[in-house]
Amino acid sequence: MKSTFTKEYPLRAGDFDCYHHLQPAGVMDLFQDAAGRHAMELGIGFPQLAEKNQMWILSGVQYQIVQHPHMYQNIRVVTWPLPAHSVTCRRDFRMETLDGELLIKGTSDWAIMDGEKRKLIRAREIYPTELVYCEDVVFEEKMLRLKDFESTGEEVLVTPGYSDLDMNGHVNNTKYANFILNAIHLQPHQVIELFQIHYRKELLVNQAVRICVLREGNQIYTMGKNQADETMFYGRILLK
């Protein structure tokens, strides 16, 4: 059973912003699609887990741009899971040219939730026993732990709608990237080198969230707070 999965994709105009930069949501959407397809091959995709009333939950994602892709370029995404810990599972990604040159490297942390109890369950035994893992990692260091910061007054209120939901009935992970980008309004000279999100609690339709922004040099930190002032997610952007 293959421990890695590779698929070619064309980059579309809609994957890029008004400055012709690849949008975070575009990167995350490709990663999500490749991960989902591989999970299906491994017998642990969305419909297979749904039969057990279980679901995949993304807890964090990070990617770094090594070379900037261009519009309409054909690329390939390579992805593989690392051995699961007691609760969390890590999956890494490479976005490459068709000649194998690295464009973007990414990593993600996942967990499995019991759909009825809404609690995390042990994931150590989720992968097929015959799977021989690829244990290559694209980042040696763990993702930076993000935390609350004191609001500087730069805030945007966002209310997710129907089109933001995924098959699990909550806001899809890629939509958070759009919320963050809409809050920070990048300028033409500001190019993302690294993008990171940590998800704390599931965000539901019509659940308003206040996005707070903190700018420190070439880094931009964000956090989403609900009406009860609970932190729903954190974000970090490193600019070139």
**Is residue 16 in some structural domain?**
yes
pLDDT at 86 > cutoff 90: no
Last-in-domain residue among 72, 100, 121:
121
Domain membership of residue 234 (yes or no) is yes
- Residue 228 falls inside a structural domain: yes
Question: Rounded to the nearest 10 degrees, what angle do helices 24-41 and 173-184 cross at?
Answer: 170
CATH of the domain at 225: 3.10.129.10
Q: Does some domain include residue 104?
A: yes
Tell me, yes or no, whether 52 lies in a domain. yes
Higher pLDDT, residue 15 or 1:
15
The residue type at 7: K
> Please, are residues 231 and 148 in contact by the beta-carbon 8 Å criterion?
yes
How much is the average pLDDT of 52-61?
A: 93
pLDDT of residue 9: 98
In a domain, 149, yes or no: no
Percent of the chain predicted with pLDDT > 90? 84
- What pTM was computed for the model? 0.94
pLDDT digits (tens, 9 = 90+) for 186-228: 999 999 999 999 999 999 999 999 999 999 999 999 999 999 9
Tens digit of each residue's pLDDT (9 = 90 or more) over 159-179: 999 999 998 889 999 999 999
Determine the structural domain holding residue 56 and report its residue range: 5-121
Residue 50 lies in a domain: yes
- Domain-embedded: residue 130: no
Q: Does the structure show a pLDDT above 90 at 68?
A: yes
Domain total of the chain: 2
Sign of the torsion angle spanned by Cα atoms 69, 71, 73, 77: positive
Average the pLDDT over 24-35 and give the result.
98
Residues 117 and 173 in one domain: no
**Using 50, 70 and 90 to split pLDDT, how confident is the model at 73?**
very high
CB 27 within 8 A of CB 104: yes
